[in-house]
Chains A and B, each alone.
Chain A
Amino acid sequence: DAGVTQSPTHLIKTRGQQVTLRCSPKSGHDTVSWYQQALGQGPQFIFQYYEEEERQRGNFPDRFSGHQFPNYSSELNVNALLLGDSALYLCASSLVRANLDTGELFFGEGSRLTVL
């Protein structure tokens, strides 16, 4: 039973560039959430996708966008990268029951982005 997989594991970009991060949820899960975790900080919620639509969004600018595909996998895109975007980006999957997503979050290992 595959857990949550993310790619790439590490990447380096320069300011102004764009990046795409990918996530495959745990088998049987239909909901994907993205978090940004700066060094020494807690995970900050970016957004959540369910049924290929953005279901909830945290306090992140429009430079952060996402997509969910029919197979439930997801992408996070960040445009016009800033130095402050350097962080570990975590993907978490879960399962919606009775239209409520309140269950356990399964996290991937993350994609560590460095912006120079």
Chain B
Amino acid sequence: GQQVMQIPQYQHVQEGEDFTTYCNSSTTLSNIQWYKQRPGGHPVFLIQLVKSGEVKKQKRLTFQFGEAKKNSSLHITATQTTDVGTYFCAGRNDMRFGAGTRLTVKP
């Protein structure tokens, strides 16, 4: 079945630094979604990517979907303490989530 791998598992940055998390699938994805889970909270939808090579931006967040639709990335520019949490990608084909990248930000 489809495997969705995420790296890195953890990332600790100084406030103001950039952050990137990567998601890789063993099979082609029809679409990919990104979620954010704050500590003690539940996953909250951020965005969905559908088209090959698609790039979407939400303020300081940039999401990319690879040309082969097997990988995706989330980049945060100039992190803030409010960005703290775990970021998950999810292949919507079969509902599977990656293990997530836990981001901590030092003020």
Give A contacts to B, CB under 8 Å: 33, 35, 41-45, 48, 56, 58-59, 90, 92, 102-110
Contact of B79 with A by CB under 8 A = no
Interface residues of B in 31-51 (CB under 8 A from A): 31, 33, 35, 41-45, 48
- Against A, the Cβ 8 Å flags (1 = close, 0 = not) of B74-100 are 000000000000001010101111111
| Complex contacts, A48 vs chain B, CB 8 Å | 95
Interface of B is mostly: loop
| Inter-subunit contact A42/B88 (CB<8 Å) | yes
Q: How many A-B residue pairs have CB under 8 A?
A: 48
Interface size class of B (residues with CB under 8 A): 20 to 34
| Inter-subunit contact A43/B92 (CB<8 Å) | no
Question: Once bound together, how far apart are the Cα atoms of A107 and B37, in whole Å?
Answer: 10
User: How many whole Å from B18's CB to the nearest CB in chain A?
Assistant: 23
| Inter-subunit contact A90/B43 (CB<8 Å) | yes
| Complex contacts, B14 vs chain A, CB 8 Å | none
Interface of A is mostly: loop
A102, A108, A109: the one within 8 Å of B92 (CB): A102
Question: Once bound together, how far apart are the Cα atoms of A102 and B99, in whole Å?
Answer: 20
| Inter-subunit contact B45/A102 (CB<8 Å) | no
| Inter-subunit contact A45/B43 (CB<8 Å) | no
